[in-house]
Amino acid sequence: MSERDIRIGDAEREHALELLGTHLGEGRLSVDEYGERSARVATAKTRGDLYALFSDLPAPRPRFAQVDPLVPPPRPAARPGFALDPRLGSVAVTAVALISVVLFFLTKTVLVFLLIPAVALLIGRMGRR
């Protein structure tokens, strides 16, 4: 993106209107030209729009602050620990599922099946480290 494509805000528009007023006061612009350019300042969206209004005028011209490029935020540091092999996690969840079926027939309670998602969540958290 070029510097001329950067969007402007109300503060930049007000500053441009002040500068046009200076040029009007020094006789460089007629009242009609001032009115026409002021209307264009009010609808300006980018720095380039404002630069175009001052292209045939000497200083003072709008000046803008330097814009820092967008930098992605730093990635968080890796947590200490070990990373779990995905194949080992699959084997563990399968084993817990089989154990849950056996426990169901021994205890006759369906709550043993809650072990499967609990173990899967634990293994998933370990695998992200």
In the prediction, which pLDDT does 124 show? 77
Does residue 70 fall inside a structural domain? no
116 or 44: which carries more pLDDT confidence? 44
In the prediction, which pLDDT does 128 show? 60
Kindly state the average pLDDT of the residues 28-54: 95
Does residue 81 fall inside a structural domain? no
Domain containing 123 equals 86-127
Does residue 97 fall inside a structural domain? yes
DSSP calls for 20-78? HHHHHHTTSS-HHHHHHHHHHHHH--BHHHHHHHTTTS-S-----PPPPPP-PPPPPPP
Does residue 113 fall inside a structural domain? yes
- Mean pLDDT computed over every residue of the chain: 87
Does residue 60 fall inside a structural domain? no
Q: How many distinct structural domains can be found in the chain?
A: 2
> Does the CA dihedral 45-48-53-59 come out positive or negative?
positive
